[in-house]
Structure 1
Amino acid sequence: MPVKLTEVARRAGVSLATASRVLNGSARTPAADIAERVKAAAEELGYVANAQAQALARSSTSLIGLVVHDIADPYFSAIAHGVQESAAKHRRQVLLAGTDVAGEGLGPGDAELAAVSAFISYRTDAIILAASRPRDEDPRISKALGRYIDNGGRVVVLGATEIPGAAAVSIANKEGAAALADALLARGTTRFAILAGPSDRNTARHRVEGFVQALSAAAVTPLAVVGGAFTSRGGFDATLECLDTLGFTGPGFTGPGTADAGPLCILAANDVMALGAMTALRSRGLRVPEDVQVAGFDDIPTLRDHSPGLTTYRLPLEDIGKVAAELALDPGSRHETRITGSVEIRESAGAR
Structure 2
Amino acid sequence: MAIRLTDVANEAGVSLATASRVLNGSARKPAAEISDRVRAAAEKLGYFPNAQAQALARASTKLVGLVVRDIADPYFSTIARGVQRGLGDSGTQLLLASTDSEPEREIEAVRSFMSQRTDAIILSGSRGLSEDAALLRLIGSYQENGGQVIVIGQPLASTGGIQIDNETTSENLAEELIRSGHRRFVVLAGDENLLTSRDRAQGFLRKLKRTGLSAVGVVHGAFSREGAYMAMSDFLRGRKSEEDAQQLCVFCVSDVMALGAIRAIRESGLRVPEDIAVVGFDDIPTLEDVTPGISTARLPLEEIGRWAGEMVLSHGEARKTVVAGTPVLRESTKLHAGNQ
Q: TM-score range by the shorter chain?
A: 0.7 to 0.9
Higher relative contact order, chain-length normalized (CA < 8 Å, sep 6+): 2
Higher Cα Rg, which structure: 1
Q: Does the Cα contact within 8 Å between 1:126 and 1:329 map onto a contact in 2? A: no
**Matched residue of 2:293: which SS?**
coil
Give the length in aligned residue pairs: 283
What is residue 218 of structure 2 aligned with on the other side? 225
Q: Does the Cα contact within 8 Å between 1:158 and 1:168 map onto a contact in 2? A: yes
Distance 1:229 1:325 in 2: 30
Q: CA deviation at 1:160?
A: 2.8
Alignment pair present for 1:179 and 2:163: no
Alignment pair present for 1:292 and 2:267: no
Q: CA deviation at 1:56?
A: 7.1
Alignment pair present for 1:341 and 2:335: no
Q: CA deviation at 1:268?
A: 0.2
What is residue 302 of structure 1 aligned with on the other side? 286
What is residue 125 of structure 1 aligned with on the other side? 119
Q: Does the Cα contact within 8 Å between 1:149 and 1:165 map onto a contact in 2? A: no
Alignment pair present for 1:327 and 2:311: yes
What is residue 279 of structure 1 aligned with on the other side? 263
Q: Does the Cα contact within 8 Å between 1:345 and 1:351 map onto a contact in 2? A: no
Q: Superposed, which structure 2 residues align to 1:139-178 within 5 Å?
A: 139-162=133-156, 164-178=157-171
Distance 2:177 2:192 in 1: 24
Quick one: structure 1 residues 248 and 59, their matched pair in 2 at CA, closer, same or farther if it must change by over 3 Å?
farther
Q: Superposed, which structure 2 residues align to 1:1-352 within 5 Å?
A: 59-100=59-100, 108-162=102-156, 164-249=157-242, 253-255=243-245, 263-350=247-334
Deviation per residue, 1:36-91 (Å, 9 max, x gap) = xxxxxxxxxxxxxxxxxxx9797011011000011100000000000011113322
Distance 2:300 2:127 in 1: 19
Amino acid at match of 1:180: L
Quick one: structure 1 residues 317 and 76, their matched pair in 2 at CA, closer, same or farther if it must change by over 3 Å?
same
Q: CA deviation at 1:275?
A: 0.6
Distance 2:234 2:149 in 1: 39
Q: Does the Cα contact within 8 Å between 2:67 and 2:96 map onto a contact in 1? A: yes
Q: Does the Cα contact within 8 Å between 1:327 and 1:333 map onto a contact in 2? A: no
Task: Give 5+ residue unaligned stretches, structure 2.
Answer: 1-26, 28-54
Q: Does the Cα contact within 8 Å between 1:235 and 1:273 map onto a contact in 2? A: yes
Task: Give 5+ residue unaligned stretches, structure 1.
Answer: 1-26, 28-54, 102-107, 256-261
- TM-score when normalising by structure 1: 0.77
- TM-score when normalising by structure 2: 0.79
Quick one: structure 1 residues 57 and 132, their matched pair in 2 at CA, closer, same or farther if it must change by over 3 Å?
closer
Distance 1:97 1:132 in 2: 15
Q: CA deviation at 1:351?
A: 6.6
Q: Does the Cα contact within 8 Å between 2:273 and 2:333 map onto a contact in 1? A: yes
Quick one: structure 1 residues 318 and 212, their matched pair in 2 at CA, closer, same or farther if it must change by over 3 Å?
same
CA-based RMSD of the aligned residues comes to: 1.9
Q: Does the Cα contact within 8 Å between 1:137 and 1:161 map onto a contact in 2? A: no
Amino acid at match of 1:211: F
Distance 2:186 2:255 in 1: 15
Amino acid at match of 1:67: V
Q: Does the Cα contact within 8 Å between 2:186 and 2:249 map onto a contact in 1? A: yes
Distance 1:63 1:222 in 2: 47
Q: Does the Cα contact within 8 Å between 2:173 and 2:297 map onto a contact in 1? A: yes
Distance 1:56 1:153 in 2: 9
Distance 2:261 2:208 in 1: 21
Distance 2:72 2:262 in 1: 20
